[in-house]
Structure 1
């Protein structure tokens, strides 16, 4: 939500600060880049068991980057936390699915809330709802969220036993592992391993590229929606925010269908012992098909002469696409690299944030140059080029896992 809530405020901010829309759009891009870089530094550390006042354009943009950076760990550690609680059987997919829906729905809720706030109070009020929501969530997490890492729980238990018994030899497995880690190895795990996994593991690289594309398309929607609904259908900012509800509803319906898929297909396969990670590519195939269909539908029904409900319905299909792609790919990566899950998710965050943060800077110019129809067709064409990936991984994934030194067999 924090990444996109500033989107409706961009024109007002640019006018108030006498700057360009491209510079103002950095308020989105820098936040996204901040939460892309944050997990790279902060998330892999969780695999170890012991572990601005000036009111100016530059100052505001720096603070947006820092807000994304310090808020970033949950994006990568959230999946690992769910794995700690539910394990990696059938229940993990449903739990990760609910978490993933919130991650996908958040950027959609941002313009909805921000649109009303900016219309009522101006661009500064695009930030206040984020502050209130963040404060409430922080209080909840600080007081009610326990430690979930098994290695850390045992390490703390061993520390209490050493204090009570005076026996310094009482150590957990995590303690022994941590003592064997040299600081240079810790630095490697934190700064290098996510890039190493991306560059040396084709499964990680191509799935990250796919998610990066989807993220870029998502943030293009933040630029396309005002052009379509305000520019062609004459909505105000609050009404344009309401148009995003189509994505929320589409995502909620997809979440329900995805849970049914897990209960009817995934869980029995686990029980039978016949499960393989490549089955995660089945929903990715459907999501990959829905992505270009959505883009062509949205673009070519965005004329003023066509009722506004058509592009709204197209956006709900986009929700199906982004949700299935995210859930299928993240589950697939988690099951392939359970030992390095936080690092894999961090590498995914970096790549998708890099692409997603760049798209707002040129998407408006792209749509103005190519028209809404041309810009959406270009994005749909890229989606078509990426479509073979899940089919390739479905058939050749076992060979790639067998050839990898880091993936599970």
Structure 2
């Protein structure tokens, strides 16, 4: 019996003459003649619902997928932009509220706390209610809280607004991976995920770049107004062009339309009947007989899913359980957290260094973040070319460890870039040299992101969302926390010493993927969550 022919549970209905079946995108619906009904003195044909738009997202055209992916990635860019644009106007805000710049740095941390916590509740809701309503709702809130950051008169108001903006904006980063999984099968996801990663890193560089120009030529409040305007444009575009990508939502709408039409047919005296072979015989209860039964459709995911409360509980519990019981999740989360922290350290380090060493103004300081954007773009090109090569040779579909060689090698660029940046940040060396170092370390960070995301997805399969949630939590908290100590690190150790310390840690952590390349199959074999992949 095919999946779409299996009988769904029918205990919720008192009518035993209804045949419930599971609906899939492959279900062949039997043709039913639209009945003619009499309304008053006018005969009217009861036409079936139009189901043409409710199709499997995996089967959508490449143009449609690309449009939705582009919208998602642009939204992600402006979310990352909102996180980093706060850094450049810190001197003006510190002067406005008569506080130290270190106190204002807490605005970076509070944003990432909201960014880390909110998806644990919002992600399960998007699985049940769909991506689109979550995006639109949180998008509107993101715009509102970004405006609040601009209009607030108090430092406390800024902190509250930043936290709420982080909560609302988190969906455009945390759930985009789910959007990619909704539309692309596993073997086709590397290029979309590469684009997603590229836009995230570009947003991290774009925020300080644009806000540096705004801060020097207008009030610091316009930094947040500009961010709100950009997000508003994206939300408006999503309202008109973003279609729901969750397959179970389309199936649910399809089942509801069909069931409503079947009920209308019955009310008109033309019930839709099907053969029911699971009816006990009246003469012999152990025997089975067939009869005609009325048809209704259900969606397996809706019948078998947990309650919202159970899903949220699992979303809050399982990521941390994996983090502290699975060595792969722990060390990859540590590696990713450190790499992401370096990116956030740059928010404080670059403006400080270029101002103190080279005498750059705010606009020039922001412009140096173009090196982050260039590093992301160059890394994306190399990654796509490499993945296409692996696809042609068939290696991409082999073990998760074989996909680690390229990003593990590329991750060495992070410590190289850190040492390069620290020991070339001197007045007697042209400013372009440390700027190229930032481009280099960005490429290393990009490689680490791809390595972690791909390996966790390949290894944990149905548990990959929880594994990535653990990684994302560590990444966001570490990013904001390290940003709080940027000034102390470099003021205490100097640019060379501070960068060398971070570079040394980066070298140690760069051993993580090589350990997995050597011992990954054995480590996975001991995991009850990943052992199913060992063959």
CA distance in 2, matches of 1:224, 1:183: 43
- Bigger CA drift: 348-357 or 153-162? 153-162
Asked if 1:302 corresponds to 2:425, the answer is yes
Question: 2:212·2:362 contact (CA, 8 Å) conserved in 1?
Answer: yes
Equivalent residue for 1:194, pick from 301, 319, 333:
319
SS in structure 2 at match of 1:235: coil
Does residue 161 of the first structure (1) align with residue 284 of the second (2)?
Answer: no
Shift of 1:114: 0.5
Give, in whole Å, the separation in 1 of the partners of 2:524 and 2:200: 28
Q: Residue deviations 1:132-155, cap 9 Å, x none?
A: 110011112222111212233223
SS at 2:99 equivalent: coil
The partner residue of 1:284 within 392, 402, 407 is: 407
Are positions 1:119 and 2:216 aligned together?
yes
Task: Kindly provide the CA deviation profile for residues 221-258 of structure 1, in whole angstroms up to 9, marking residues without a partner as x.
Answer: 11111122111111111111111112211221111111
Gaps of 5+ in 1: none
User: 1:151 — aligned with what?
Assistant: 248
CA distance in 1, matches of 2:527, 2:212: 47
**How far is 1:182 from its partner?**
4.7
Cα pair 1:155 1:174 within 8 Å, conserved = no
Residues in 1 aligned to 2:331 and 2:260: alpha-carbon distance in whole angstroms: 49
Report the Cα distance in structure 1 between the residues aligned to 2:379 and 2:350, rounded to whole angstroms.
Answer: 22
Match of 1:108 in 2: 205
CA contact (8 A) 1:49 1:175 kept: no
The answer to whether the Cα contact below 8 Å between 2:130 and 2:246 also exists between their aligned partners in 1 is no
Indicate which of 376, 380, 384 corresponds to 1:255.
Answer: 380
Larger CA deviation: 299-308 vs 323-332: 323-332
Structure with greater proportional strand content: 2
Contact 1:280 1:329 in 2 (8 A): no
Aligned partners of 1:14 and 1:21 also within 8 Å = yes
Shift in CA distance, 165/268, structure 1 to aligned 2, threshold 3 Å: farther
2:304 to 147, 156, 177: 177
1:30 deviation in Å? 1.1
Partner of 1:41: 121
Query: SS where residue 170 of structure 1 aligns?
Result: strand
Distance 2:381 2:236 in 1: 29
Deviation at 1:54, TM superposition (A): 5.3
Query: Do the aligned residues in 1 keep the contact of 2:417 with 2:437 (CA within 8 Å)?
Result: yes
Matched, 1:353 2:476: yes
Q: How do 1:321-340 and structure 2 match up within 5 A?
A: 321-340=444-463
> Displaced runs of 4+ in structure 1, greater than 6 A?
49-53
Task: Select which of 350, 355, 370 maps to 1:245.
Answer: 370
Q: Equivalent residue for 2:281?
A: none
Relative contact order (C-alpha < 8 Å, sep 6+): which is higher?
1
Going from structure 1 to structure 2, the CA distance change for 1:170 and 1:124 (only over 3 Å counts) comes to same
2:102 paired residue number: 22
The answer as to whether partners of 2:125 and 2:308 remain within 8 angstroms in 1 is no
The 2-side partners of 1:183 and 1:233 are apart by 55
- How many Å separate the matches in 1 of 2:330 and 2:453? 13
Judged with a 3 Å threshold, the aligned counterparts in structure 2 of structure 1 residues 50 and 28 are, in CA distance, closer, same or farther, namely: closer
Distance in 2, Cα, partners of 1:254 & 1:124: 34
Is 313-322 or 50-59 further displaced after alignment? Answer: 50-59
Quick check: 1:40–1:347 contact (8 Å CA) kept in 2?
A: no
Distance in 2, matches of 1:397 and 1:214, equals 22
Greater share of residues in helix: 1
Equivalent position to 2:416, from 282, 293, 296: 293
- Structure number with bigger Rg: 2
What CA RMSD, in Å, does the superposition of the two structures yield over aligned residues? 1.9
Q: Take 2:322 and 2:255, find their aligned partners in 1: how far apart are those partners?
A: 32
1:88 equivalenced with 2:186 (yes/no): yes
Structure 1 partner of 2:86? 6
Superposition TM-score, scaled by structure 2 size: 0.72
